[in-house]
Structure 1
Amino acid sequence: MNYRHGYHAGNFADVLKHVALVELVRLLTAKGKKLFVLDTHAGAGGYDLSDGFATRTGEAELGVLRLETAARAGMPAAVARYLAAVSAYDRKFGSSGPRLRHYPGSPRLIRAALQPGDRLVACELHPQDGLALKREFAGDRAVEIRQADGYHALKALLPPPERRGLVLIDPPFEVPDEFERLLRGLRQGLRRFATGCYAIWYPIKDDAAKDFIAGLTDLKLVTLELNLGPTIESGKLSACGLAVVNPPWKFEEAMREALPWIASHLGPDVRPTIRVWPATSPVPAPSA
């Protein structure tokens, strides 16, 4: 996988991650208490789907661009909220065509859902993306941008003064030991901030993902996974997941409604799975 997220903006992995992210922030801000959000691998903030990196891969065609054409009747509320947030970001650029052109990264989706008094710290190590991220949020006092290793931020910024928080960990997975680094970082964060909600994105290529999840099953955990099936082009990522530790009330319910619907609209071979620890039965793929 290429570290620059612009190549993958709006793809099926972003759909999974961002539908869940929008719902998590909504649920965590519902009580009206101040919320701290840490995005450890934030990317550039926003992406142009009609130019540059995104056009080289066309991955958004099998992701958000497919969902935006779906009929709104019967659409799960969590999906509708996600698509509304994406459309709102696109409209900021004056887009008026029939297709989405500008796609918000995770920090933009988080920021749009925050309430007054909430706070976001977004970390990005890549110098070009870090600079783009700073430009994206210039003058926004609710957002702090750090060009830093997101794993180090787990130690430096937790626990937050707000005592309520969401941590999104979305690593590039360019190094062979990324799963080990991820597990160490997560455990370190939990030691410092045990009551925080953590959302961790991971690719599924081999047994490493299964072993990673097995190392988390002592926690209160929901995992969401999408598998595109055998028709995906060779060499491209075809399956991924999001592990949510300490999910808020009603999050699992919302995802059990949203994930099968998303899978059925992304393609006939796409398989969704939701698992909860303590273990329950996985959600089957939707019927044809």
Structure 2
Amino acid sequence: MLSYRHSFHAGNHADVLKHIVLMLIIENLKQKEKGFYYLDTHAGVGRYRLFDETAEKTAEFKEGIARLWERENLPEEVRRYVQIIKRLNYGGKELRYYAGSPLIAAGLLRAQDRALLTELHPTDFPLLRNNFKQYANISVKREDGFQQLKATLPPKERRGLVLIDPPYELKEDYDLTVKAIEEGYKRFATGIYALWYPVVLRQQTKRIFKGLENSGIRKILKIELALRPDSDQRGMTASGMIVVNPPWQLETQMKKILPYLTEVLVPQGTGHWSVQWITPE
């Protein structure tokens, strides 16, 4: 099943959280001169028009990046993220485009860094390939992203980040994400693994947490932003990032950023946030 397309959700509150975390991890990796490897397992197209028929159908960006666009009191980390999106919009005069995780990463990578972007969707893959054809250090493949953890790890650089961002169309995706991290960790235990997850039914999300707890892997941080309390009704109430081997600053940075994001993105006061260890060091 390949019906999911991220263009319906580009720039929403979940993207804001995910891409700030992604940016902070890459910034940390860049503190060392030695290059690193970046694998994006479910890359999408990388660049989204916010006023095409798919994005406009849901207009989720209005509850996400649009609420940060013209604010002047941004925390420094959030300001850097917004600047990335403004550069894509010709300096930020008007919000028309949003950067997916591949484009955010591409803007932060150095010449010595290397990336692999994978996407299976038959419509999205050609767009992804075209959007990144000018990058010498970025490869694009129509491959199963989960399989690339087996195929490409450990990287020759011995430093790296794997972003796992599946559509969760199938219930099996919740188990596949845990298996993917376990497979990657066996091959590359010092790598950073960042997994995005939605909270639609909390019980499904708990399967991921429990699976990782039982994996024996240490140093797993959970970062979550909720718009409203858990519900058994249709729709995503929250989303989060699970980070294996997080940079030491990430916990502190997110505890500083999340109260601000909760206030701005959830003005009705129903939101909450958390930064917790699934398994400590």
Shorter chain as denominator, the TM-score bin is: over 0.9
Q: How far is 1:148 from its partner? A: 0.9
In the aligned structure 2, how far is the partner of 1:231 from the partner of 1:31?
40
In the aligned structure 1, how far is the partner of 2:194 from the partner of 2:171?
21
Aligned-residue sequence identity (percent) comes to 38
Q: How far is 1:277 from its partner? A: 4.2
Question: Residues 204-223 of structure 1 correspond to what in structure 2 (within 5 A)?
Answer: 204-206=199-201, 207-217=203-213, 218=216, 219-223=218-222
Question: What letter matches 1:125 in structure 2?
Answer: L
Q: How far is 1:211 from its partner? A: 2.5
Question: Residues 42-121 of structure 1 correspond to what in structure 2 (within 5 A)?
Answer: 42-70=43-71, 72-73=72-73, 75-91=74-90, 96-97=93-94, 100-121=95-116
In the aligned structure 1, how far is the partner of 2:137 from the partner of 2:32?
19
In the aligned structure 2, how far is the partner of 1:204 from the partner of 1:38?
24
The answer to whether residue 1 in structure 2 is matched with residue 4 in structure 1 is: no
Q: Secondary structure at the match of 1:126?
A: coil
Q: Secondary structure at the match of 1:144?
A: strand
Question: Residues 4-23 of structure 1 correspond to what in structure 2 (within 5 A)?
Answer: 4-23=5-24
Indicate the residue corresponding to 1:131 in structure 2: 126
TM-score, scaled to structure 2 = 0.92
Q: Secondary structure at the match of 1:215?
A: helix
Q: Secondary structure at the match of 1:236?
A: coil
TM-score, scaled to structure 1 = 0.90
In the aligned structure 1, how far is the partner of 2:9 from the partner of 2:152?
28
In the aligned structure 1, how far is the partner of 2:85 from the partner of 2:175?
33
Cα deviation code 1:26-72 (max 9, x no counterpart): 011111111100000000010001112110001111111112132x2
Q: Secondary structure at the match of 2:246?
A: coil
Indicate the residue corresponding to 1:284 in structure 2: none
Q: How far is 1:230 from its partner? A: 5.6
Indicate the residue corresponding to 1:227 in structure 2: 226
Indicate the residue corresponding to 2:253 in structure 1: 254
* Alignment CA distance shift 1:225-1:2 (3 Å): farther
Indicate the residue corresponding to 1:163 in structure 2: 158
- List structure 1 segments (4+ residues) > 6 angstroms apart after TM superposition: none
* Alignment CA distance shift 1:140-1:243 (3 Å): same
Question: What letter matches 2:93 in structure 1?
Answer: S
In the aligned structure 2, how far is the partner of 1:56 from the partner of 1:27?
36
Indicate the residue corresponding to 1:142 in structure 2: 137
The answer to whether residue 238 in structure 2 is matched with residue 242 in structure 1 is: no
Q: Secondary structure at the match of 1:13?
A: helix
In the aligned structure 2, how far is the partner of 1:44 from the partner of 1:278?
33
Q: CA RMSD in A?
A: 2.0
Unpaired segments ≥5 residues, structure 1: 281-288
Q: How far is 1:128 from its partner? A: 1.3
In the aligned structure 1, how far is the partner of 2:44 from the partner of 2:120?
9
Q: How far is 1:90 from its partner? A: 1.7
Q: How far is 1:96 from its partner? A: 3.3
The answer to whether residue 185 in structure 2 is matched with residue 196 in structure 1 is: no
Cα deviation code 1:132-175 (max 9, x no counterpart): 01110113111000111101111111110000000000001011
In the aligned structure 2, how far is the partner of 1:79 from the partner of 1:139?
28
Q: How far is 1:118 from its partner? A: 0.3
In the aligned structure 2, how far is the partner of 1:83 from the partner of 1:179?
30
Equivalenced residues, count: 273
Question: What letter matches 2:16 in structure 1?
Answer: V
Question: What letter matches 1:256 in structure 2?
Answer: K
In the aligned structure 2, how far is the partner of 1:231 from the partner of 1:221?
23
In the aligned structure 2, how far is the partner of 1:255 from the partner of 1:96?
28
In the aligned structure 1, how far is the partner of 2:141 from the partner of 2:53?
25
